[in-house]
């Protein structure tokens, strides 16, 4: 595992964009897992900028699979993961939407949708690289506490703390408006990726980040289960990392000099 501590959230996003760009240049047909959220969005903005400045960078040959979608939400809903990805990345680079996949939260048969999504990831050879954000309670995708390393794409129920975080006014204005369920890629699928990238920035993510490294990994903090992965890169800023001891997190690289 490597932990990369960047001076601030923008630098962390740049570092994440660097890693994604490098992998895309090395393998243009990359199978990429992607998350939504404010934190990865900064890295997507940076990737779009680089797409316009680096002529070698192309998204034409990659395939993407998003980690989750809200149940009941169609792709035209501005609050859906599909809409978010289209407007933050997919429609801003040389991608056709056919290369991009987000589970359909409005599917008639959600169980079948999950099965088909999982099978399609497998048919594409699994994920090369997956980009994840961190939920306040340690969730990744929408693998809430209690999720196991054997979990696959499925329908899940949100915890009260996730509903509270989602209804902060930015995407959902109140608890009543906030969905209570999602379809999420499972931890087994994520753990099968060749490289896992997790980004967490800001003081609000400090506790969740610490819990990844505190004690033994377990389903109470789903992100801690990624520690067993041979290529797990955690990119954070100093606010999120404050107080984290090297002994807790294993390898620490302070990326300050990299900029």
φ/ψ of residue 131, rounded to 5: -105, 125
Q: Among 105, 135, 179, 186, indicate the residue that binds ligand GLP (CB under 6 A).
A: 135
Lookup: tokens for 91: 């429609």
Residue 137 binds ligand GLP, judged by CB under 6 A: no
Residue 205 · residue 235 · CB < 8 Å: no
Return the residue matching tokens 């890169």: 233
Q: Which of residues 18-37 bind ligand GLP (CB under 6 A)?
A: 35-37
Q: What helix, strand, coil percent values describe the chain, rounded to 5?
A: 40, 20, 40
Site for ligand GLP contains 39 (CB under 6 A): yes
Nearest residue to ligand GLP, using CB?
133
Q: How far is the CB of 73 from ligand GLP (least distance, A)?
A: 12
Q: How far is the CB of 79 from ligand GLP (least distance, A)?
A: 12
Dist CA 153 CA 143 (whole Å): 10
Is 239 a binding residue for ligand GLP by CB under 6 A? The answer is: no
**Catalytic annotation present for 137:** yes
What does the block give as tokens for 77?
């809903």
Whether 23 is catalytic is no
Element (H, E) at 45: helix 38-53
Check binding of 145 to ligand GLP (CB under 6 A). no
Distance CA(248)–CA(203), nearest Å, equals 18
* 143 counts as binding ligand GLP under rule CB under 6 A: no
Q: Based on the shown chain and the rule CB under 6 A, indicate whether residue 141 belongs to the binding site for ligand GLP.
A: yes
Binding track, positions 42-81, relative to ligand GLP; x by CB under 6 A: -------------------------xx-------------
Which entry of 137, 143, 210, 239 is annotated as an active-site residue?
137
Q: Using alpha carbons, select from 1, 16, 7, 24 the residue that is nearest to residue 235.
A: 16
Q: Is 68 considered catalytic here?
A: yes
Q: What is the dihedral sign for C-alpha 41, 72, 178, 150?
A: negative
List, by residue number, the catalytic residues: 68, 137, 139, 144
Residue ranges in contact with ligand GLP by CB under 6 A: 35-39, 67-68, 132-135, 141-142
């Amino acid at each position: 595992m490597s932990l990369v501590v960047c001076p601030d959230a923008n630098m962390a996003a740049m570092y994440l964009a660097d890693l994604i760009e490098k992998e895309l240049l090395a393998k243009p047909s990359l199978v990429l897992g992607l998350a939504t959220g404010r934190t990865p969005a900064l890295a997507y903005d940076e990737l779009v900028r680089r797409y316009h400045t680096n002529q070698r960078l192309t998204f034409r040959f990659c395939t993407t699979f998003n980690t989750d979608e809200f149940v009941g939400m169609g792709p035209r809903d501005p609050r859906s993961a599909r809409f978010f990805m289209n407007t933050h990345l997919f429609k801003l680079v040389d991608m056709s939407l056919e290369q991009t996949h987000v589970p359909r939260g409005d599917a008639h048969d959600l169980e079948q949708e999950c099965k088909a999504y999982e099978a399609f990831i497998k048919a594409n050879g699994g994920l090369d690289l997956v980009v994840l954000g961190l939920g306040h309670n340690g969730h990744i995708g929408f693998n809430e506490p209690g999720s196991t390393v054997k979990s696959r794409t499925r329908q899940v129920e949100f915890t009260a703390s996730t509903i509270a975080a989602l209804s902060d006014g930015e995407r959902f204005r109140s608890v009543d408006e906030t969905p209570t369920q999602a379809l999420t890629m499972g931890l087994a699928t994520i753990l099968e990726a060749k490289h896992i990238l997790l980004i967490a920035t800001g003081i609000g993510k400090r506790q969740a980040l610490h819990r990844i490294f505190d004690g033994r990994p377990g389903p109470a903090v789903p992100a801690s289960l990624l520690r067993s992965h041979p290529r797990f890169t955690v990119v954070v800023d100093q606010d999120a990392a404050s107080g984290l001891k090297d002994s807790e997190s294993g390898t620490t690289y302070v990326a300050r000099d990299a900029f």
